[in-house]
Amino acid sequence: MSKKTKTLLSAIAVLIVALIAGTVGITTNISIQDIEGEGFKAEIQFSEEQLPATVEDDMGEIIEVEEINGEEIKTVEEVDGGLFEDETTGLSAAEGEYEDLGAVIETFDTSTPEAFKNATLGKCVIANNRYGAQCVSLARSYWFSYAGRDVSTCGTGMAKGMMNCAEQNAGDDFVIFWGNNNIQSGDWLVFDGGQYGHVGMALGPVVNGYVALLGENQGGHSCGQGVGGSATNIINISIKNLIGGYRPKSYIKPEPKPEPTPAPVVDQCKVWNVKKGDTLGKIMKTCKGEIKWGEAMNEYARHWYSTTFKVHLTVYDGWASANGVGLFAGDTIEYRAE
């Protein structure tokens, strides 16, 4: 079968899908851009309800936005994001082994999710992909920029294939997670859905079943005639087809330390930690505002009990018998009214 015949059949199939979707009331945006019969843009199903995206800003604050850089953030149900195949080697990561093509792979600042977003938003990142600016192209550039190595689709050429060899893709640089596992900004999310699935980087947490996603070939502006795919943009995508993803280890936020339980405030007129030089006169002055000597002082001493050195004996016992120690540095004495 010739490439032109394949292209014609692909276009007819897409047209049928579009007609069926229109009949059942599903909003779709389907665009085919041909590169020698093999290049195309993603199939996107938009939501009937437009929802604000929840993102983490450069100060770490979680905010809701409806547009970024003047471009509306569309609410999307599903993206079928396209294929990947290295233009030089013809490999679609059969074993995850590409030859070292770092010199022709675009690299960007990955110090923070915000830095990567700012470096790539609106750009057509090809990453040596014969199909152009596809979603895996952006992931490939990220893996080269962050980890200094390639990403694998496990021989499928499809975005959703990235989770088929999760350990290989994660290496020592990422933590693997499955499903919606407290998604945070900087997580790379892999989706099922459609023929190829989709991949992109989260820009915030999941809210009401949707997550802000930085990605390529998901409705951005055209990359020009004969390129394929579309430029990096941001959408608010449903996580209904989420398989799992990869969390860059340098983005992992430390678990918040529990607030220390404040020590109870001890009424020193009920409990007194005796220090060298303390006298009962000092204690009476502190607690009663005056000092009374004689029997009044003796009576006051009968209410202060040792809790450390002579348990159950009073300060008065220390004065009146050989069994007590009176006031002794290091002792804790307790006032009992009885």
* Same-domain status, 194 and 301: no
Identify the pLDDT of residue 42: 86
The share of the chain scoring above pLDDT 70, in percent, equals 82
Q: Greater confidence, 40 or 68? A: 68
User: Based on the number of CB atoms within 10 Å of its own CB, is 61 exposed (0-12), middle (13-18) or buried (19 or more)?
Assistant: exposed
Q: Residue 295: enclosing H or E segment and its boundaries? A: helix 295-301
Same domain? 238 vs 296: no
Question: Sign of torsion, CA 180 184 190 191?
Answer: positive
- Is a pLDDT exceeding 80 seen at residue 74? yes
Residue 93 belongs to some domain of the structure: yes
Assess whether pLDDT exceeds 70 at residue 17: no
Instruction: Please report the pLDDT score of residue 309 as a whole number.
Output: 83
- Tracing tokens 């998604």 back to the chain, one arrives at 183
Measured CA to CA, the distance from residue 302 to residue 315 in angstroms comes to 6
Buried b / exposed e over 222-259, threshold 16 CB at 10 Å, is ebeeebbbbbbbbbbbbbebbbbbbbbeebeeeeeeee
Does 179 share its domain with 247? yes
- pLDDT of res. 21: 38
Q: What is the mean pLDDT of residues 290-316?
A: 89
Range from 1-15, 157-171, 180-194 carrying the lowest mean pLDDT: 1-15
Give residue-wise pLDDT tens across range 119-171. Answer: 999 999 999 888 899 999 999 999 999 999 888 898 888 999 999 999 999 99
Examine residue 10 and state whether it is found in any structural domain, yes or no. no
User: Does 240 share its domain with 289?
Assistant: no
The phi-psi region of residue 43 (left if phi > 0; otherwise alpha if psi is between -120 and 50; otherwise beta) is beta
211-225, 281-295, 324-338, range with the lowest pLDDT: 324-338
Average pLDDT over residues 90-101: 50
Query: Among 5-9, 205-209, 214-218, 290-294, whose mean pLDDT is lowest?
Result: 5-9
Question: What pLDDT does 254 receive?
Answer: 80
175 and 296 belong to one structural domain: no
Same domain, 153 and 295: no
Kindly state the average pLDDT of the residues 241-266.
84
For residue 151, what are the domain limits?
28-251
What confidence score (pLDDT) does residue 60 get?
82
Write down the pLDDT at residue 207. 94
How many domains, the chain?
2
**What pLDDT was estimated at residue 311?**
82
Eight-state DSSP code of residue 57: -
End position of a domain, from candidates 218, 251, 284: 251
210 pLDDT exceeds 90?
A: yes
pLDDT at 92: 64
Q: Is residue 304 part of a domain?
A: yes
Shared domain for 201 and 318, answered yes or no, is no
Max mean pLDDT range (65-69, 98-102, 262-266): 65-69
User: CB–CB of 129/84 below 8 Å?
Assistant: yes
CATH of the domain at 36: 3.90.1720.10
Query: Does residue 276 share a domain with residue 228?
Result: no
Mean pLDDT of the residues in the chain: 82
**Which of 29-38, 146-155, 235-244 is the least confident region?**
29-38
Q: Is residue 308 part of a domain?
A: yes
- Model's pTM, two decimal places? 0.67
